[in-house]
Amino acid sequence: MASQPEQRSKVARRALLGTALCAGLVATLLTTGPARADHRDDAWTVSAPAAHEPTAHIRLDDTTGTVSLSVTRRGRTVIEPSPVGIVTEQADLSEGLRFLHRKDRLVDERYRAKSGKRLDRRVRMNETRLSFATPTGARLDLVVRASADGVAYRYVLPGGYGAVLGETSAFNLPPDASAWLGAYRVDNEGQFAQYTAATAPTGEYSDQALFETDGGYTLLAESDLTGDYSGARLAHDQGTGTYRIELADDRVQADGPLATPWRAMVTGDLATVTRSTFTDDLAPASKVPDGSWIKPGTVLWTWLAGGREAGQSLAAQKAYVDYAAERNWPYEAVDAGWYFKAGEWDTTDPDWQTNSWMPELVDYARAKGVGIIVWIHQRELDTPEERAQWLPTLERWGVKGVKIDFMDSEAQPMLRWYDAVLAETAAHHLMVDFHGSTLPKGIQRTWPHVMTLEGVAGEEKRTNTAAHLTTLPFTRNVIGSMDFTPGAFQRVGLRPNSDAAEVGLTVAYESGLQMFAGTPESYDRRPLARAYFDQVPAAWDDTRLLTGRPGREAVLARRGGDRWFLGGVYAGAARTAEVPLTVGPGRWLVETVEDGADGLVRNRRVLRGGDTFAVEVVANGGFAGIACRWRPGVTTCHR
């Protein structure tokens, strides 16, 4: 049976055979082309500015007029020759192409993020724009970028081609390439599992797929996805190494000129991929002119701690605020229930804004130095009228952010909703946490008030595996902040890891709003974990992978000021883990929180940068740590 993209392509081609482009459109297209095309050119390369880094190889088949793209790194295979092309109502831009001209430029930018793996960013990419035309004059520009940590391409079309019916884009991997894939779900909460490229079962997978070839690791991703287009997933047939791009919509409306999202390949050794900000770097610059009100931080999250009953109780929420204030945690999040009343929405009451107890809670929390974040269902914000009711009200009350839930779609209409709500929440100075959502895809550079997104099988799930937890730093969390909500110590038996591993997740997983999911009682019973949470930042100056292998182990170091925070998670049997302290030269005091026979224990050691230290890891365990500069008299890294 033909795949859905193949069927769309066949439909489009039959339409083209039966109906020629109108004469006016052809004339317009032909007059916009260059005076001369170099028909001798049929192969091009685009290399990163740094030597020996990824190189894209683009080739035009003179017989079929099809274009393919492959990627190498240090002369070794990353992506095998793979088809590129797009089909619209009025033009099949996947075959019959002839080369027109090439244009090159250097992309050299600096920007500062509000959250993520590091705040100060430097972008250096070589860009090549290759222009092609069909025999009828239809135009396609293929824009390719290469950076030290990745290769990406996008299609640029003039207006007048009608709806997009699909792409012929695909990624061809060596069949024996190791693959870590998450089954596709509309909420992007699929579990990651390991296969080879060919043995993965037939089906659909998230576009955040990680592969290992002889050229290193490659994470497939997407960037600059807006309501102008449709979200992508990967379609795969078992027995091949081919992963096809399939769109969420059968028809993507295009009302004028179109630039599709970037098809990105984050590429390098595992440390490079883990540290990469490539998908952010590809995205447009910030649309928030003054971001002084955007402040990342740790959050006491009350859903797994108290559920809807806590959300319906002002007294319970005040108690949570008291606990956050005692710990100097900057935020408390009120989840579902706060605008429910007797099973009905409080907003059905015309006086709901007056009757709500939320303003009282916000004022109470403000006096204690705690900001309030509130959960809200997407259906409460799905029209301009509803947003005009809710968002100014929340801003007037003094709410700091909104956790918007249950979008559960990457179809074009929902992406257009994202475009609207992003602009409007920014205008009302509300930070955003998206749940049941799309993946980051560069959104945090363009809209830096988006502090985190779910799009992950997180702490709420009862079927997570330790292998899944150790894969996330190399897949989902590479492309942006991830609201996994660690710290749910009370869920013994419902999570696959140890207490020390649960502490380590707060560093191993990056999130601009790091939501602690435990109960105050569970923290009080684990004072070492509680003290660590008091210290851990939510914004980082740098990130490094110390050691790791997807599905087995992940140890990350993240710098906040002059201290490095360490988070390690492991899958499998108990072991003595060896961790290299590659955080800089000199002498370091390293304090770790580990699993002991009767609970969490703290160990201290003085090491030199580059030394390796041992951690006793229980089955499916882990650890957390802090490294600070040692000098005589320094006995702790805690402040």
Tens of pLDDT, residue by residue over 101-121, are: 999 999 999 999 999 999 999
**Average pLDDT of the segment spanning 498-521:** 98
Type of residue at 383: T
Query: How far apart are the C-alpha atoms of 108 and 302, rounded to whole Å?
Result: 43
Condensed to tens digits (0 to 9), the pLDDT of residues 50-83 reads 888 999 999 999 999 999 999 999 999 999 999 9
Categorise residue 563: left if φ over 0, alpha if ψ from -120 to 50, beta otherwise: beta
Query: How far apart are the C-alpha atoms of 561 and 502, rounded to whole Å?
Result: 23
The answer, yes or no, to whether residue 545 has pLDDT greater than 70, is yes
Q: What is the pLDDT of residue 352?
A: 62
Tell the CATH superfamily of the 297-539 domain: Aldolase class I (3.20.20.70)
**Average pLDDT of the segment spanning 386-402:** 97
113: CB partners within 8 A, 6+ apart:
119, 120, 121, 277, 280, 444, 445, 448
Condensed to tens digits (0 to 9), the pLDDT of residues 209-240 reads 999 999 999 999 999 999 999 999 999 999 99
Q: Residue 627 — very low, low, confident or very high, per pLDDT cuts 50/70/90?
A: very high
The answer, yes or no, to whether residue 205 has pLDDT greater than 60, is yes
Neighbour-count burial of 211, counting CB atoms closer than 10 A to its CB (0-12 exposed, 13-18 middle, 19+ buried)? buried
Specify the length of the chain in residues. Answer: 639
**Average pLDDT of the segment spanning 291-302:** 97
**Average pLDDT of the segment spanning 127-149:** 97
Q: Any idea what the Cα angle at residue 400 is, between residues 394 and 405, rounded to 5°? A: 75
Q: CA 187: distance to chain centroid?
A: 13
**Average pLDDT of the segment spanning 531-554:** 97
Q: What is the pLDDT of residue 312?
A: 84
Q: Residue 339 — very low, low, confident or very high, per pLDDT cuts 50/70/90?
A: confident
Dig out the tokens for 582 from the structure: 């590659």
CB 394 within 8 A of CB 430: yes
Gyration radius of the chain's alpha carbons: 25
Q: Any idea what the Cα angle at residue 521 is, between residues 519 and 524, rounded to 5°? A: 115
- Eight-class DSSP state of 344: E
Q: What is the pLDDT of residue 356?
A: 85
Q: Which residue has the tokens 């081919």?
A: 242
Dig out the tokens for 351 from the structure: 């006086």
**Average pLDDT of the segment spanning 561-570:** 98
**HSE (side-chain half, CA atoms, 13 Å) at 242:** 14
The verdict on pTM exceeding 0.95 is no
CB 602 within 8 A of CB 503: no
Q: Residue 341 — very low, low, confident or very high, per pLDDT cuts 50/70/90?
A: low
Average pLDDT of the residues of the chain: 92
Categorise residue 517: left if φ over 0, alpha if ψ from -120 to 50, beta otherwise: alpha
* Cα dihedral 551/552/558/562 (nearest 10): 180
602: CB partners within 8 A, 6+ apart:
528, 591, 592, 593, 594
The answer, yes or no, to whether residue 252 has pLDDT greater than 90, is yes
Sketch the domain layout of the chain as residue ranges: 4-282, 297-539
The answer, yes or no, to whether residue 89 has pLDDT greater than 90, is yes
SS3 318: helix
Q: Residue 310 — very low, low, confident or very high, per pLDDT cuts 50/70/90?
A: confident
Type of residue at 349: D
Q: What is the pLDDT of residue 229?
A: 98
4-282 matches 297-539 in fold: no
40: CB partners within 8 A, 6+ apart:
none
Q: Kindly list the catalytic residues.
A: 405, 460
**Average pLDDT of the segment spanning 501-511:** 98
Q: What is the CATH number of domain 4-282?
A: 2.70.98.10
- Name the nearest CA neighbour of 527 among 415, 365, 638: 638
Q: Measured on CA atoms in the order 426, 428, 432, 436, is the torsion positive or negative? A: negative
> Measured between alpha carbons, how far is residue 68 from residues 82, 197, 209, 475 in Å?
5, 19, 20, 26
- Long-range contacts formed by 187-190: CB under 8 A, 24+ apart: 187/408, 187/436, 187/437, 187/454, 187/455, 188/437, 188/438, 188/439, 188/454, 188/455, 188/456, 189/454, 189/455, 189/456, 189/457, 189/458, 189/461, 190/457
Q: What is the pLDDT of residue 571?
A: 98
Q: What is the pLDDT of residue 41?
A: 81
CB 54 within 8 A of CB 146: yes
Q: What is the pLDDT of residue 96?
A: 98
**Average pLDDT of the segment spanning 77-94:** 97
Least confident residue range of 26-40, 111-125, 213-227, 460-474: 26-40
Q: What is the pLDDT of residue 351?
A: 65
- Name the nearest CA neighbour of 220 among 184, 176, 166, 187: 184
> Measured between alpha carbons, how far is residue 332 from residues 267, 367, 453, 489, 600 in Å?
38, 13, 17, 18, 26
Query: How far apart are the C-alpha atoms of 108 and 111, rounded to whole Å?
Result: 10
Answer with the residue of higher pLDDT: 159 or 248.
Answer: 248
**Average pLDDT of the segment spanning 499-506:** 98
